């Protein structure tokens, strides 16, 4: 069976997991953990993505991020390539450093993001290498608590917990103390079933009606049809767009495919659809 296609679109949130080749401890030396985090930070500033959390363990690492200008594939190629060159040179070796391609789990929104962040930060505790999340130096937990370590974007997460920053930090600490036995690695999409259906790759769905034909089925006039296709945001076109999205989802098109046909991002399509 071939590899599943990546689900990638601008603004997507991912839980990324990358393991060492053959489960080797490629981060056994703390200086190697620090070097990886330096590469992640430089890549974040150079390629423009939002980083919400990370942890670097002995034989693997986790990232929680949101893509912006560049696709996830380019981001991970840069990070892993830079680290692999450093690792092979430092230890005078050659060959693969990482185990195949990384795993990227698509996350619906901030409700699920919080649970995954807790899972990432509690990785050292679950593995028995740390008594608490704060005891482990190579995760973003301490940056949330006291802005120590490599920087991450904490605002979105803390704003989800409370408007007042001190109250948000209290709730964050409570969240990190909670245990959760959910396996956030053994899945491809984290979210509601309806969201999972909208992001299925094209190869997994049967023959579908063309998107332009679906748009015409909404009852839009020829002039309205042309305006929608041109990306117009006029208010009277909204009902037709919502009908088009609903019909297209029934045909198993992805958010990205639906949006590209009428000049919207995948996030904008989802926001318009869920407000119905």
Domains for the chain: give ranges and CATH numbers: 13-190 (3.30.70.1290), 204-274 (no CATH)
Q: Which residues contact 56 (CB under 8 A, 6 or more apart)?
A: 27, 33, 36, 37, 138, 139
Answer yes or no: are the C-beta atoms of 260 and 227 closer than 8 Å: no
Dist. CA 190–CA 103, nearest whole Å: 13
Residues of the chain with pLDDT below 50 are 1-3, 202-205
Question: Whole-prediction pTM value?
Answer: 0.71
Extended beta strands in the chain, E state: 13-19, 50-56, 60-66, 103-107, 189-190
Decide if 46 contacts 82 (C-beta within 8 A): no
**Strands of 103-107's sheet, edge to edge?**
50-56, 60-66, 13-19, 103-107, 189-190
Predicted pLDDT of residue 55: 97
Q: Tokens in use for 186?
A: 């053994």
């Amino acid at each position: 069976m071939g590899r599943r296609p990546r689900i990638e679109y601008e603004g997507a949130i991912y839980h990324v997991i990358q393991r060492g080749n053959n489960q080797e401890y490629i981060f056994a030396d703390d200086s190697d953990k620090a070097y990886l985090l330096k590469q992640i930070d430089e890549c974040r500033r150079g390629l423009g993505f939002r980083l919400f959390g990370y942890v670097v363990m002995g034989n693997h690492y986790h990232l929680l991020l949101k893509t912006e200008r560049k696709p996830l594939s380019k981001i991970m190629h840069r990070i892993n390539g830079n680290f692999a060159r450093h690792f092979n040179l430092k230890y005078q070796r050659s060959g693969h450093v990482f185990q195949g391609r990384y795993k990227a789990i698509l996350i619906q929104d901030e409700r699920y993001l919080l649970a995954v962040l807790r899972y990432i930060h509690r990785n050292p505790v679950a593995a028995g290498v740390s008594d608490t999340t704060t005891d482990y130096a190579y995760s973003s937990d301490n940056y949330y608590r006291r802005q120590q370590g490599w920087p991450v974007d904490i605002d979105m997460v803390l704003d989800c917990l409370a408007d007042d920053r001190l109250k948000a930090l209290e709730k964050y600490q409570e969240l990190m103390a909670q245990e959760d036995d959910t396996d956030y690695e053994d899945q491809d999409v984290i979210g509601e079933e309806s969201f999972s259906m909208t992001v299925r790759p094209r190869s997994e769905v049967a023959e579908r009606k063309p998107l332009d034909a679906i748009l015409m089925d909404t009852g839009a006039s020829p002039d309205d049809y042309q305006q929608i296709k041109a990306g117009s945001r006029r208010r009277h076109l909204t009902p037709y767009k919502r009908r088009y999205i609903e019909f297209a989802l029934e045909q198993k098109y992805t958010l990205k495919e639906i949006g590209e046909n009428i000049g919207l991002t995948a996030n904008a399509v989802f926001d318009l659809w869920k407000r119905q």
